[in-house]
């Protein structure tokens, strides 16, 4: 009976040691994939993606203007963090994805200057190429409360936001940005539902 008891204890003890090692490795894996706020400041020199409009924007429409949900899906490239700061990689990208609400779907209003917006802050998620040691920087959440839209014939559409408050990574400073499209303005009847972004940037003071 005594021999059987020893064998049972040994059988339990060996898997327990393996379990501890497994838990330690799993904990290390979670740490590697976690996020912390980046410090310093950031700048990105390219932007590509789409801005989706729902409902679409029109000009000279016979219908009354309606509030419009604007959905951003933009990748900022050639990003770099300035020092002093805790980001240890030289080049990375960021993905702006989220929505805000314009008070109108009228092109004349939305491309006529500053427009006050409503909605939650829009996050920029930083790519896995961005590192603080082994850790990925936390997203930067941008309060897009005001955007200035403009249209120039033969050039295209431009959206600019200036000194917007941010939280998360790089939040000791405000954030400014620009999104450009070669789209040739609005259609009087069908309107536009997607604005392709072909260039842009984000910067901090």
129-160: pLDDT as tens digits: 999 999 999 999 999 999 999 998 888 999 99
Cβ atoms 151, 185 nearer than 8 A: yes
- The whole-angstrom separation of Cα 123 and Cα 96 is 6
96 and 170 in a common domain:
yes
Whole-model pTM: value is: 0.81
Tell me, yes or no, whether 4 and 105 share the same domain. no
- In this structure, the answer to whether residues 95 and 10 fall within a common structural domain is no
Shared domain for 14 and 112, answered yes or no, is no
Over the stretch 96-124, which tens digit does the pLDDT of each residue have? 999 999 999 999 899 999 999 999 999 99
Considering the domain architecture, whether residues 84 and 104 belong to the same structural domain is answered as: yes
Does residue 19 sit in the same domain as residue 92? no
18 and 64 both lie in a single domain: no
How many structural domains compose the chain? 2
Same domain, 2 and 46: no
- Same domain? For 73 and 1 the reply is no
Same domain? 120 vs 89: yes
| Structural domain that includes position 133 | 35-203
Which is higher by pLDDT, 80 or 2? 80
Residue 192 or 178, more confident: 178
State the pLDDT at residue 35. 81
| 160, 140: one domain | yes
pLDDT digits (tens, 9 = 90+) for 57-84: 988 655 667 899 999 999 999 999 998 8
Question: pLDDT of 6-26, one tens digit each?
Answer: 333 333 343 343 333 333 333
How would you label 128-166 residue by residue, b for 16+ Cβ within 10 Å and e otherwise? Answer: eebbbeebbbbbbbbbbeebbbebeeeebbbbbbeebeb
């Amino acid at each position: 009976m005594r021999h059987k008891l020893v064998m049972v204890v040994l059988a339990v003890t060996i898997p327990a040691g393996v379990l501890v090692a497994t838990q330690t490795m799993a904990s290390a894996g979670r740490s590697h994939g976690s996020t912390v706020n980046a410090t310093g400041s950031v700048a990105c020199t390219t932007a590509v993606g789409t801005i989706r409009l729902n409902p679409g924007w029109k000009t000279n429409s016979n219908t009354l203007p309606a509030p419009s949900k604007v959905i951003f899906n933009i990748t900022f490239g050639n990003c770099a963090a300035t020092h002093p700061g805790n980001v240890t990689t030289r080049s990375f990208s960021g993905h702006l994805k989220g929505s805000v609400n314009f008070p109108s779907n009228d092109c004349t209003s939305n491309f006529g200057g500053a427009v006050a917006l409503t909605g939650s802050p829009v996050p920029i998620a930083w790519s896995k190429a961005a590192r603080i040691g082994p850790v990925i920087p936390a997203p930067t959440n941008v309060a897009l409360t005001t955007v200035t839209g403009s249209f120039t014939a033969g050039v295209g559409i431009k959206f600019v936001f200036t000194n917007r408050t941010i939280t998360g990574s790089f939040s000791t400073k405000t954030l400014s940005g620009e999104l450009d499209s070669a789209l040739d303005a609005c259609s009087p009847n069908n309107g536009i539902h997607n604005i392709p972004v072909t260039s842009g940037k984000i910067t901090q003071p």
